[in-house]
């Protein structure tokens, strides 16, 4: 049995994943724009619903690709004399996978979790920044060092971050180039990287644990404009 056509179809399905990723990235940026411009919470909630719809699409796509791959592997192992009904077998496996769906699956989607975390941080940062601006008007700006401004400083470079990345394990942020340079240098020496944030006990920072902290980046840029 030749599976070249099936493999080509799988390749096309995997391309669909990139379209879903793009859609989720756009929805995330739109939500951030809405928060930054202090739009109504209902508009932001619509973006959250869009993210959940994309998460459902991604789950369905992954289930179908899994069903196809498992069916192909099963036939390759069994090597039946008669060509089976591939479509029927795939549909049966796909239906079985879909029957296990739950809302909690979507809530655990990695991109949705990132969206929620970043949105929460951004709301807090802008709310805090707005409150602090009211306070600063009443005191000497030369001696006013706000907590939010301290959060803008990289623990490695001791300078304001331009491209902050957040460590998913410990939650601390660093300038992207600075932490990647440390990781690369230590990797060459076959040594682990301890989180540069003072007092943090996390002793194995990996590049795969770092995600762009777009919320913090936007707050920094907004603060600099002011």
Is the predicted pLDDT of residue 111 greater than 80, yes or no? yes
Question: pLDDT value at position 174?
Answer: 95
Name the pLDDT band for 130 (thresholds 50, 70, 90). Answer: low
Under 8 Å CB-to-CB from 221, ≥6 apart: which residues? none
Name the pLDDT band for 145 (thresholds 50, 70, 90). Answer: very low
Q: Parse the chain into domains and list their residue ranges.
A: 3-128, 164-224
Count Cα atoms within 13 angstroms, Cβ side, for 200.
17
Structure-block tokens of residue 76: 């390759």
Question: pLDDT value at position 154?
Answer: 93
Farthest-apart Cα atoms in the chain, separation: 86
Between 150 and 42, residue with greater pLDDT: 42
CATH superfamily of 164-224: Zinc/RING finger domain, C3HC4 (zinc finger) (3.30.40.10)
Question: pLDDT value at position 142?
Answer: 44
The span from the CA of 142 to the CA of 193, in Å, is 37
Model's pTM, two decimal places? 0.69
> pLDDT tens across 43-63, in order?
888 999 999 999 999 999 999
The span from the CA of 58 to the CA of 64, in Å, is 10
């Amino acid at each position: 049995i030749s599976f070249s056509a099936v493999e080509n179809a799988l390749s096309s399905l995997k391309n669909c994943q990139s379209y879903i990723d793009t859609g989720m990235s756009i929805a995330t940026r739109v939500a951030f724009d809405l928060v930054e411009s202090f739009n109504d919470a209902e508009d932001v909630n619509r973006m959250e619903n869009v993210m959940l719809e994309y998460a459902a699409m991604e789950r369905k796509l992954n289930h179908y690709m899994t069903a196809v791959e498992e069916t192909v592997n099963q036939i390759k192992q069994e090597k039946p004399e008669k060509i089976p009904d591939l479509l029927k077998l795939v549909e049966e496996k796909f239906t079985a996978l879909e029957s296990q769906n739950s809302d909690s699956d979507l809530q655990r989607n990695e991109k949705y979790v990132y969206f929620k975390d970043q949105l929460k941080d951004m709301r807090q940062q802008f709310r805090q920044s707005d409150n602090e601006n009211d306070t600063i008007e009443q005191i000497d700006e030369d001696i006013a060092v706000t907590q939010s401004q301290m959060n803008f400083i990289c623990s490695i470079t001791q300078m304001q971050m331009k491209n902050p990345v957040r460590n998913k394990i410990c939650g601390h942020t660093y300038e992207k180039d600075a932490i990647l340079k440390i990781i690369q240098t230590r990797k060459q020496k076959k040594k682990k990287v301890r989180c540069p944030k003072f007092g943090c006990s996390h002793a194995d920072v990996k590049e795969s644990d770092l995600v762009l902290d777009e919320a913090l980046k936007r707050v920094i840029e907004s603060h600099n404009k002011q």
